[in-house]
Amino acid sequence: MRLGRALTAAVAVTALAGCGGDDDPAGEQTTAPAAELDVALDAQLGVGAPTGPEYPPGTSGLVADYTVTNNADVPVLVVQRRPADITPEVDVPLPDTDESSWVYADDAGQILVTKEVFATTGGDTGTAYRAPAVRLEPGETVTGRAFALTPLRRIAPDSGTFEVPGPSTLPDDATSWSFCVQVAPDPGETGEPTMADHTPDRRLVCSTPADLPPDALGAGS
């Protein structure tokens, strides 16, 4: 990922969806409203090859080249890649690179290629699950790339531990896909930036949908 400072706020999409705020178990108490973040995603969706030597020659898939801009007045975290330690085993190798992404479908049947940390199903598990992240100061931008191997496989963490939206398989009749990246206000933790499953006010910023290319779905989805 490359960091820079935005001189102009040219953005394509700012779509924020709730994704992992902490619920108050005391039903009569009210929780503070989620922080409003002015964070924008500009993404170019297409088909291409992954970068680097981790994949064999001839590999291709869905590609998102994107820029995230922090237009807020507070620092934010942006997830950099899929966490390797909770990535499942599928029928093909899944190298751990900055392009590593989750692949699943939402409730409407659209394919999502994402970089995020999911909430856990049972509340506090005693383990902090984290994804590498980038810290953006107000006015800064970061560029990145996401890759999803085709034919697409559903790549999501264990459903017994994490809350993953949508069906347990990719729908055969899916016709579109989007790229989404998770952002949150920087809580000010020490050390290398990471997004944790307990980081407050996490949000997904998603691109405008694009058509799935022919034969993007196949065996293993």
Write the pLDDT tens digit of every residue in 171-214.
Answer: 999 999 999 999 999 999 999 999 999 999 999 999 999 999 98
Q: What is the pLDDT of the chain when averaged over all its residues?
A: 85
Q: Give residue 58's region: left, alpha or beta (phi > 0; psi -120 to 50).
A: left
Does the pLDDT at position 139 exceed 90? yes
Identify the band that residue 27 occupies on the pLDDT scale cut at 50, 70 and 90.
Answer: very low
* pLDDT attached to residue 3: 54
Q: Whose CA is closest to 108, among 215, 216, 206, 220?
A: 206
For residues 8 and 81, which has the higher predicted lDDT (pLDDT)? 81
Q: Which is higher by pLDDT, 17 or 37?
A: 37
Sheet holding 140-149, edge to edge: 2-5, 140-149, 61-70, 39-48
* Model confidence pLDDT, tens digit, residues 42-61: 999 999 999 988 888 889 99
The model's confidence at residue 34, banded by pLDDT at 50, 70 and 90, is: low
What does the pLDDT look like over 93-110, one tens digit per residue? Answer: 889 999 999 999 999 999
Confidence band for 126, pLDDT divided at 50, 70 and 90? low
Query: Could you write out the three-class secondary structure of 95-130?
Result: CCCCCCCEEEECCCCCEEEEECCCCECCCCCCCCCE
* pTM, full prediction: 0.84
Average pLDDT in the 112-117 region?
97
Beta strand 102-105 with 210-211 is: unpaired
